[in-house]
Amino acid sequence: MELSGGALALRIVIGALAASMVFVVFYLVPSLIGSLASGISTGGGTGVSIQGMVDSLFPSTLPLIGILLTILTFVGVVVRGSRPYGAILILNGILFAAYFYILFQGGTISLTLPGGLPASASGTVSLGVSALMWIILVAPLLTIVKGLVILFVPAQPKAPAA
């Protein structure tokens, strides 16, 4: 794969933008949503502490995966079209799949109601989201397949120009 200086610069810019979006969605949001929820509950004056509930929805492994996804997204854009790109896609697909699997807690999300609710209410809410999770996981799995194809299926030689 040979790139001109301008093309490389363009890929770096696009990669940085894509990585930034991934960084915001997959790192910043799970990292800061607990603090945001805490601020909302304090501002509402209800005394309800929903930070713990949000923390349980977004475990600490998610931001870590988000960082890795950010890096791989940037690298993937830069090396797109090369053979390592297949490996990057496989890693990217695995991390996306892992991210959503962890987010959906394997298909059943268990929530513990926060403290401070009216009537001292407490309890658990269980959401069965297996179907939604598998729908979302299809795209990352296809990405892995695409990576495998790029990695192991020889590229068809381009037809000679007539």
Partner 1 sequence: LINALIIVFLLVSAVSVGLIGLTAVGVGSGLKVGKISSATSGTTTTISVPVAIHNGGSLSLNDLRLDAIVSDSSGDQLLTGSAGPVTVGAGENKTVTVSLTLDGGSVSGATLQSLATNEQHLHVAVTASTSVPPFLTLSADIAASLEWGAPVNGLTVGSPTVTGASGTTLQVTVPVSFMNNNSYYTVSGQAQIKIVDSNGLQVGTGSLDVSVPPNTGFDQDVPLALTIPQSQVQQLLFNSTTLQYTAQVEVVSGSQTVFSVDEPLTYQWGAPLSGFTVGTPAVSLHNDTTVAVALPVSFTNANSAVDVGVTLDGRVTNATTGTAEGSGSFTVNTPHGGSFSQLVTMFVKLPSDYYDVILFHDATLRYSVAFSGSFQGVGVTFSRDIAVDWGAPLQGLTFQSATVTSHNSTTAQVTVPYSFTDRSAWLSVDGTAFGVISDVSGVQVGSIPKFTLSTAPGQQFSGTMTGYVKLAASGEPRFNVAVWFVTGPFEAMVEVPVTA
User: What are the residues binding partner 1 (CB under 8 A)?
Assistant: 113, 117-129, 131-132, 135-136, 138-139, 142-143, 145-146, 149
CA angle 29, 36, 62 (to 5 degrees): 30
CA gap 96, 94 in Å, rounded: 6
Nearer to partner 1, 60 or 130 (CB): 130
Nearer to partner 1, 6 or 123 (CB): 123
Tell me which amino acid residue 105 is: Q
Nearer to partner 1, 21 or 132 (CB): 132
Q: How far is the CB of 100 from partner 1 (least distance, A)?
A: 9
Q: How far is the CB of 12 from partner 1 (least distance, A)?
A: 22
Q: How far is the CB of 149 from partner 1 (least distance, A)?
A: 7
Q: Which of 104, 137, 27, 5 has the alpha carbon at shortest distance from 71?
A: 27
Helix, coil or strand: residue 109: strand
